[in-house]
Amino acid sequence: MPYKVVHNFEICDGCEECVKACAQNHFGLSNCNIFKVGDKFYYFSCMHCKKPQCGAVCPVGAISIKDGVVTFNMELCVGCRNCVEACPWGVPKFNFNTGTINKCDLCYDRIIKGEMPFCVSACPNKALELKKIEPKPKPKPKPQAKPQAKPKEGSS
């Protein structure tokens, strides 16, 4: 089942504890950011696209989709940076500490164990929440009206 991090900008004070916790647990490079717009703060991380361009260009399959989450396998990554160039959101970043990229995978290894992503658990104001996204039911096709049979010519 797909997941997403929901951010409540009304209670976020821009402390960046989420960014710090992410960086501490991902080899010194955070996979999320906080941006100030006017007097509000906004959280940004991977969009977890249904058809991720970053995964499509990875020559070794280090980026894949699991349960609707675009995941990253550092052990497979060769550091080519194709994903960095392909992502329209600029999410994957090259990590000079590891020689590979980093990208948000919602701390997938944690959520499958019932734990929260590092960013969510670090937020002192509870401005971040992990939510399961229920798939929308597919609409049932409308029954089509049966075509009326045309009377044969010459019959009455």
Mean pLDDT of 20-39: 97
Q: Quick one: pLDDT at residue 148?
A: 65
- What residue ranges define each of the domains in the chain, with the CATH number in brackets? 3-132 (3.30.70.20)
For the segment 52-79, what is each residue's pLDDT rounded down to a tens digit? 999 999 999 999 999 999 999 999 999 9
Mean pLDDT of 97-113: 96
Mean pLDDT of 13-23: 98
46: nearest Cα among 30, 60, 57 = 30
pTM of the model: 0.82
